């Protein structure tokens, strides 16, 4: 859920990442799909962010930001190859996009789960 929110926020709020031909669900699916696939293959998340040591969270966040930057670089290339209406203007928007995606995802991980502890233990 955090990746969906982070990629969407990056596309709609950051000035260097845009959809010049107007909103296109297909153009939004490319970054979402790449982020979901790559983050599932290369996981840079703590098991439980609420109980992880702060140094570990900071280290994994830094590694994750580099990973997300490389994914934005891949998204930029894929959008050019597939002729999608997704434009990323330079390296700085990719860096900001990486920060937005990673911080949004970590914020969603830090939210308490909705499953009560008694039900989670009995499952």
pLDDT tens for each residue of 32-66:
888 888 888 887 666 666 777 888 778 878 888 89
- For all residues of the chain together, what is the average pLDDT? 81
**The two structure tokens encoding residue 37:** 């696939």
Instruction: Using alpha carbons, select from 20, 6, 5, 1 the residue that is nearest to residue 72.
Output: 6
What pTM does this model have? 0.77
Which pairs from 26-30 meet CB under 8 Å and 24+ separation? Answer: 26/84, 27/79, 27/84, 27/85, 27/86, 28/86, 30/75, 30/78, 30/79, 30/82, 30/84, 30/86
Q: What is the mean pLDDT of each run of 10 residues along the chain (123 residues)?
A: 84 86 78 83 70 79 88 87 85 92 84 64 56
């Amino acid at each position: 859920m955090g990746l969906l929110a982070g990629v969407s926020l990056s596309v709609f709020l950051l000035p260097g990442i845009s959809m010049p031909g107007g909103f296109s669900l297909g153009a939004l699916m490319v970054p979402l799909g790449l982020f979901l696939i790559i983050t599932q293959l290369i996981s840079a998340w703590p098991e439980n962010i609420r109980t992880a040591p702060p140094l570990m969270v900071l280290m994994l966040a830094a590694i994750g930001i580099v990973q997300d930057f490389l994914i934005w670089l891949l998204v930029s290339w894929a959008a050019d190859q597939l002729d999608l209406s997704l434009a990323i203007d330079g390296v700085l928007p990719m860096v900001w996009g990486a920060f937005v995606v990673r911080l949004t995802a970590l914020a969603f991980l830090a939210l308490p789960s909705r499953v009560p502890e008694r039900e989670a233990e009995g499952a």
